[in-house]
Amino acid sequence: MQVRRGDFTEPDTLPTAFADPSRVLIVSGPADPEPHRIAVEAAVTAGAEHLVYTAHMATSPDSHFGPARQHAVTEQDLAATGIATTSLRNGFHASSAPFMLGAGLRTGELRLPADGPVAWTAQADLAVAAAIALTDPDRLHGTTPPLTASRALDMDELAEVVSRITGSTVTRTVVDEDEYRAALVAGGLPEAFAPMMTGFFAAARDGEFATVDPTLADLLDREPRSIEDVLADTLRAY
């Protein structure tokens, strides 16, 4: 194995990082699509024949969720390359659920805006899908179906899951977005990130994260990990 340093924000590092490529996996970072565009262009210039990109199940220029709109920009950049591409429409990362649950994990009350079901999906399972896309591109090419776990749960259901895992009752209270945003900022979240958080709830209400699809289970040849399993592991740190 050869390890090479490359930084999407330092274009001069990418020709060496991408030297002699056949297939390249571009793992998406922060919401800004410009570093992704730089990586796509560098990989194509280096001679890549196939690009694989980690997008999101709600990817659309019309999504309520900011990162999903940015993924749509990168998907347009991929389409413009003229080479084979795979955009992995990953389910919502289950590891982010505790962050979305917020202070309620400590207080026992989830004070959150109205939401909808979310197909929380284990990143380890999504990593297997990415490896398959790289090593067996005939199985995953173009824009994939949503790569999700087998169930979608809303915040009321997550409160029940957390209650079972911790043995302490966690309740769910619906608050308006202004109150939620104010609480986030008061709790130390940079104000620039607040629209992403409120956008998550708006997208969930609109069903953007509700789809479940068997593709990931078929790739894994087993059921994907459930949000219950992921939270049971994650909540040990709380």
Q: Which of 9-13, 84-88, 119-123, 212-216 has the lowest mean pLDDT?
A: 9-13
Give the model's pLDDT for residue 32.
82
> Is 86 within the bounds of a domain?
yes
Reported as a single tens digit per residue, the pLDDT across 17-57 is 999 899 999 999 876 889 999 999 999 999 999 999 999 99
Reported as a single tens digit per residue, the pLDDT across 75-94 is 999 999 999 999 999 999 99
> Is 99 within the bounds of a domain?
yes
> Is 2 within the bounds of a domain?
no
State the sign of the Cα–Cα–Cα–Cα dihedral 183, 189, 191, 195. Answer: negative
How many Å apart are CA 88 and CA 19, to the nearest integer? 23
Give the model's pLDDT for residue 121.
99
Domain count of the fold of the chain: 1
How many Å apart are CA 210 and CA 160, to the nearest integer? 18
CATH code: domain of residue 164: 3.40.50.720
> Is 206 within the bounds of a domain?
yes
> Is 1 within the bounds of a domain?
no
Phi first, then psi: what are they for 100, rounded to 5°? -70, -35
pLDDT-based confidence at residue 235 (cuts at 50, 70, 90): confident
> Looking at the chain, how many residues does it have?
238
Reported as a single tens digit per residue, the pLDDT across 152-195 is 999 999 999 999 999 999 999 999 999 999 999 999 999 999 99
pTM: 0.93
State both tokens at 236: 């040990």
How many Å apart are CA 187 and CA 159, to the nearest integer? 21
> Is 174 within the bounds of a domain?
yes
Give the model's pLDDT for residue 237.
63
> Is 195 within the bounds of a domain?
yes
pLDDT-based confidence at residue 102 (cuts at 50, 70, 90): confident
Give the model's pLDDT for residue 234.
87
How many Å apart are CA 39 and CA 44, to the nearest integer? 9
> Is 82 within the bounds of a domain?
yes
Residue among 163, 209, 219 nearest 68 (CA): 209
Given a cut of 70, is residue 122 above it in pLDDT?
A: yes
pLDDT-based confidence at residue 151 (cuts at 50, 70, 90): very high
Give the range of the structural domain holding residue 179, as residue numbers without chain letter.
11-237
Average pLDDT of the chain to the nearest whole number: 95
